[in-house]
Amino acid sequence: MKTYFRPLVQHGPARPKGAVELAGQPLWFTHAEVLTRENPAQILPVAEIPSDALGRLTNPRADLCGLDMKCPHIMGILNATPDSFSDGGLHNSVEGARNAAAEMVAHGATILDIGGESTRPGADFVPEDEEIARTRPLIEAIRAETDVLISIDTRKARVARAASAVGAGLVNDVSGFTFDPDLAPLCAQLGTPVCLMHMQGDPATMQDDPQYNNVLLDVYDFLEGQITHLERLGLNRENIVVDPGIGFGKSQDHNLALLRGLSLFHGLGCPILLGVSRKGFVGSIGQEPRKDARAPGSIALALAGLSQGVQIIRVHDVAETAQALRLWAAVR
């Protein structure tokens, strides 16, 4: 029977005896929720958590491309696409993308995620040559102006290779390295850090009727299996970021279950990325049909994720999110 441990995360200076840090951050826990597929959940004190599982939960995460994973980071979204669900067509030109990138960095983004293929529900496949033509010139222009970490948001090895050649330092694959069998070996060969995301199905069909036995544990098991696969290819775990894939082949109930249980994913021993910005369920629950007016709801979820120890927040609204994070940190 496989056992999972979800730390019950707390913060503040008055740490009781026996409290342990969460992944080297200024967050701590004294108990964890013990989950299995067969039995009801139980609460266990940290002293009774097996040492290997406790080590994964508590060990500080290594720096990622020079970024300190003991503090939160903002990943700004820069889509070089005509049809992305929220910002399609806004950053198609090199000059427009360069200006947007400079503004995001000035407002606090430490990572820029550049994509040339929309992964919104129902999106069509984009050929590799077209995706390269959309992203490579933007990465070249941005790299010439700033040394910020650039992530290439792609499922394809040729696109990743072209992006890496001009300055991208992270590969963010929404398919979790299941789409192109050449992508994971390429990243291992180049030693490029990666973001491993869970998605059920593909963008064209993922929201038709997503089904899970237990969404929290199913997503965890997928990510764990893919981490093992990447390690066998030669990628170090310290260079792998995990993303539960909110909104990618999930219903609203699935999304909420993952958000409530986010701290479980620290058990994978990797930094966690949370991408909820402007998504459909944010508009549904927040009663805001306009995609570009969903910053308040997106920030609320970002702060909820940070309270569970998430290290990277992927957002459209960088300035607003950065302001919220500064106030959140000051109060804490």
Which residues have a Cβ under 8 Å from the Cβ of 29 and sit 6 or more positions away? 7, 8, 9, 10, 19, 20, 22, 46, 57
pLDDT, averaged across the chain: 93
What's the predicted TM-score (pTM) here? 0.94
pLDDT, one tens digit per residue, over 66-91 is: 999 999 999 999 988 874 445 444 55
Q: Indicate whether 204 pLDDT > 70.
A: no
Q: What is the pLDDT of residue 84?
A: 45
Which residues have a Cβ under 8 Å from the Cβ of 317 and sit 6 or more positions away? 277, 278, 295, 298, 299
Q: What is the pLDDT of residue 142?
A: 95
Token pair recorded at residue 303: 């702060």
Q: What is the pLDDT of residue 92?
A: 60
**The residue type at 258:** L
Selected catalytic residue, list 291, 314, 326, 332? 314
pLDDT, one tens digit per residue, over 235-259 is: 999 999 999 999 999 999 999 999 9
Mean pLDDT on 188-206: 88
Q: What percent of the chain has pLDDT over 90?
A: 85
Selected catalytic residue, list 161, 250, 279, 294? 279
Residue 279 annotated as catalytic: yes
pLDDT, one tens digit per residue, over 207-233 is: 767 899 999 999 999 999 999 999 999
- What is the Cα–Cα distance from 176 to 302, expressed in whole angstroms? 22
Q: What are phi and psi of 247, to 5 degrees?
A: 85, -5
Mean pLDDT on 129-154: 95
Q: Which residue has the higher pLDDT, 1 or 27?
A: 27
Q: What is the pLDDT of residue 91?
A: 53
The DSSP 8-state label assigned to residue 125 in this structure reads P
Contacts 24+ apart (CB under 8 A), 23-26: 23/57, 23/58, 23/59, 23/60, 23/61, 23/69, 23/266, 23/271, 23/309, 23/311, 24/58, 24/59, 24/60, 24/61, 24/69, 24/70, 25/70, 25/71, 25/309, 25/311, 26/70, 26/332
Whether residue 57 contacts residue 7, with contact meaning beta carbons closer than 8 Å, is answered with yes
Residue 314 annotated as catalytic: yes
- What is the Cα–Cα distance from 301 to 324, expressed in whole angstroms? 11
- Residue 47 CA: distances (Å) to CA of 11, 17, 18, 54, 291: 19, 11, 8, 9, 46
Cβ atoms < 10 Å from Cβ of 99: 14
Mean pLDDT on 293-310: 97
Q: Indicate whether 118 pLDDT > 90.
A: no
Q: Indicate whether 267 pLDDT > 50.
A: yes
Token pair recorded at residue 324: 């919220």
